[in-house]
Structure 1
Amino acid sequence: MSLPEDVITEILSRTPATSLLRFKCVCKSWHKIITDPTFILKHHQTITRLPESEVVMISRRSNATNRRVFSLLRSPADASDVVDLDLPTFLNDMFGHVRLVGPCNGVVCLYGYYDNIELWNPTIRCFKNIPASELPRPPHSKIRGGDLGLGFDPKTQDIKVLQILFCVLMDSQIVYQVEIYSSRMNSWKKLETYMPANIMCYNLWSMVYKNQNFCWWAQDKNNVEVILSFDMVDEVFEMTELPFDVEPLGGQHRTTRAIVPLKESLVLIVYRQRDDDKVFDMWTLNEAGGGVEAWSKLRSIGPIPGVEKVLGFWNKDEFILESGTGEMVVYNRITREMKNLGIYGKRSKLEVVVMTESLFSMD
């Protein structure tokens, strides 16, 4: 007895992406379903809502070789279940100082320096080199750096990359050039937009929010801390004030922040770097673009001894941290148990991306 196609589609939409890669060979009708863009989006939206759907991509710099190593960990309960991911040789050469940006729909972005960008879906082992922008840059200027945003436009089914270039003019004035790349069109365009805030830091201070927004920790023109976000659909910037009761940045305790994803929410984490036993105060953002009332205070985590910095959340209750020895550790905020994973890298060079595997091909 054969099942109706809509029933088969529903069953397949709840199947892990790694299994679907094998199932494409079952028959032509299954191959047609699994490779259909509408199904790929439905599958990702469905699988994301299922419990224990997340995996962790780890980026670290090897103590032995000083080269960047990427790994995938599927279970916090089994630290031996870590698999190193192979990058093509030319990518290792290109990305000596790679940043890991994302994820968005199971896709991450490798960012070496300006105009050196690669999209990567590790599940289907697919890379897409983004062509260097040929847009004219501000005349008589030098590019001193850049930052990146990644997101998905559900209206056009398009993964977009935002590149913000920091350009210094001859009179030492800093100007921004904002460019956006469409994966569907495989082209860049310049955005005639005003940057309302200055981006503060990299890595743990930027993230994809609800797939269509990318957020950074920033300061507005009055040096007030904000969350700067960019909407990939309307292609506009927005600012969100920080909660009113956040401990001031710096000071004798070297108070710092991180913004990390928790499912589809953005969580602001504030902690004191100099404390041996760290307490992590947390707020969740209800909606980007609002005032201080847009935040809700969460229960603090800690004190936790022997850790240096926060890396992210895994399946809601697992708090990922870097220890003082450069080891990745997981703290369960319900049971308050710490698990050492035996995954090491150079201190302060650990990065993680918590993601759901997908079939997106970036075309």
Structure 2
Amino acid sequence: MADGSKDVSRRRNPADKLTEDLLVEILSPLPYKSLCRFKCVSKRWRGIISHPDHRKALPQHHLHDLAGFLYSSRSPDYLLIRNFTHVSTGGRPPMDPSLPFLPNCDRFNLLDSCNGLLLCSRFETADSRAFDYVLCNPATEKWLALPLPRFFSKWQTARLGFDPAVSSHFHVFQFLEDGADTDDDVDDSDGHVKGVEIYSSKTGAWSHKDSGWGFPARILSLSAFGKGFLHLVTIEPAVVVAVDVEGTTWRVIPMPCNLFGPEIDLAVGFTDLSQGRLYLANIDHRDGHKLLIWVLEDYGSEVWVLKHSVRPFDLFGVKYVHQGIRFHIVAHHPQRNMIFLVFGHDKVLVSYEMDSGKVQFIRDLGNGSMGPYRPYVPLYSEELADWN
């Protein structure tokens, strides 16, 4: 009986006969979520899949499609409410926008989102002025508190850079602005960037670099990370600027121009698509407030190519002409030729498919809703599993 039981046991575990190298070769084409399920086959499989020597061969993350947008609103008694809205109809929200898993957090400000990670400033009490930076992954409810940088003020602009397809490490950029070295008064700051503090999760430390743009840049709130650079739009002058994760390379990319010179306003928005190309949206006020979508086809040439243009009348109909409805770009879709816009008194969120010209209503966000509207893409990652 004992020998028979051993034979049955061996027949039930034919996978144990696979060599380690062969098993890695078989599993390497699988998506990350499927790979996680195979950890349950046996302790041996789990050990092989989780072994550091196989991280380059096996998938280490799964980045979902765009799920929706995070934004804020005010209740009738002026309380701040955190919200999430899907870009598709129905379904349970993939995360709780109040981030209840963050410890020692009476309130927080959402500073940036990038490929599934959120950068927040965390306050221990409601009336506290002191805060720290926290990175979190709402899909897994993992979080990481960052050490404080050398120069620290709540009036500084902080942005996040993270691309799991390139590296499991992230970078936080805190831009240092003239007059914002203290918490005394925001009016003391003129918004001109004089340097940057960059946090690297690889080193666990901040590094300081003086600005290398060659002019006193004033940056807008929107940013996009890709190709190892954080890209931002500036005013005075109106250009696209970029800085790499080491703070050693600073780029200035001129705005696309028409016969009358560059056109830009607060409707600017840009992001990286799946092809890794940088997109820019702006408004041509001299041509019926036409919305222009540009793409940097050759990243090294700094030459913008007009990808698409559309008039507000074609987006919103005759109602736009009669009521003068204002709109602004929320984001580009990361994998499709699609943009998202918010317009009107009730802050209506719509998508616009550039190839077909289709406008799709998503949700009435309400007059009390407030930007920025941050895109959220759920992320599951083996490399980030050791966070808190």
Smaller-chain TM-score bracket: 0.7 to 0.9
Aligned partners of 1:59 and 1:71 also within 8 Å = yes
Structure 2 residue 271 is matched with structure 1 residue 260: yes
Q: 1:190 aligns with which of 208, 213, 221?
A: 208
Structure 2 equivalent of residue 349 of structure 1: 371
2-side partners of 1:329 and 1:91: how far apart? 36
Structure 2 residue 170 is matched with structure 1 residue 181: no
AA aligned to 2:72 is R
How do residues 254-293 of structure 1 correspond to structure 2 at under 5 angstroms? 256-263=267-274, 264-271=276-283, 279-288=290-299, 290-291=301-302
Structure 2 residue 19 is matched with structure 1 residue 9: no
C-alpha spacing 1:159/1:77, structure 2 compared with 1 (3 Å) = closer
Structure 2 length as normaliser, TM-score? Answer: 0.70
Aligned partners of 2:49 and 2:58 also within 8 Å = no
- Superposed CA deviations along residues 331-358 of structure 1, whole A, max 9, x for unmatched, are 2333333332236253442513253623
Structure 2 residue 135 is matched with structure 1 residue 125: no
Aligned partners of 1:312 and 1:319 also within 8 Å = yes
How many residues get paired?
333
Q: 1:318 aligns with which of 326, 338, 356?
A: 338
1-side partners of 2:376 and 2:133: how far apart? 20
CA positional deviation for 1:308 = 1.7
1-side partners of 2:178 and 2:57: how far apart? 37
C-alpha spacing 1:186/1:15, structure 2 compared with 1 (3 Å) = closer
Structure 2 equivalent of residue 333 of structure 1: 354
Question: What SS class does the counterpart of residue 31 from structure 1 fall into?
Answer: helix
Structural RMSD (CA): 4.0
C-alpha spacing 1:115/1:41, structure 2 compared with 1 (3 Å) = farther
Structure 2 equivalent of residue 69 of structure 1: 82
- Superposed CA deviations along residues 55-109 of structure 1, whole A, max 9, x for unmatched, are 2342111343743425374xx44344534425136576341x4222323xx4332
C-alpha spacing 1:27/1:70, structure 2 compared with 1 (3 Å) = farther
Give identity over the alignment, percent. 18
Structure 2 equivalent of residue 206 of structure 1: 223
Which structure has more strand as a fraction of its residues? 1
Alignment gaps of 5+ in structure 1:
none
Question: What SS class does the counterpart of residue 259 from structure 1 fall into?
Answer: coil
Alignment gaps of 5+ in structure 2:
1-13, 123-128, 183-187, 321-325
AA aligned to 1:296 is V
Structure 1 equivalent of residue 327 of structure 2: 308
Question: What SS class does the counterpart of residue 55 from structure 1 fall into?
Answer: coil
CA positional deviation for 1:244 = 2.4
AA aligned to 2:331 is G
CA positional deviation for 1:232 = 1.5
CA positional deviation for 1:274 = 12
Question: What SS class does the counterpart of residue 305 from structure 2 fall into?
Answer: strand
Structure 2 equivalent of residue 299 of structure 1: 308
Question: What SS class does the counterpart of residue 349 from structure 1 fall into?
Answer: strand
Q: Which has the higher contact order (CA 8 A, sep 6+)?
A: 1
The structure with more radius of gyration: 2
CA positional deviation for 1:190 = 1.9
C-alpha spacing 1:35/1:167, structure 2 compared with 1 (3 Å) = farther
CA positional deviation for 1:161 = 1.4
C-alpha spacing 1:79/1:183, structure 2 compared with 1 (3 Å) = same
Structure 1 length as normaliser, TM-score? Answer: 0.74
C-alpha spacing 1:274/1:338, structure 2 compared with 1 (3 Å) = farther
How do residues 81-100 of structure 1 correspond to structure 2 at under 5 angstroms? 81-85=92-96, 87-88=99-100, 90=103, 93-95=106-108, 97-100=109-112
Q: 1:110 aligns with which of 92, 106, 120?
A: 120
Aligned partners of 1:79 and 1:341 also within 8 Å = no
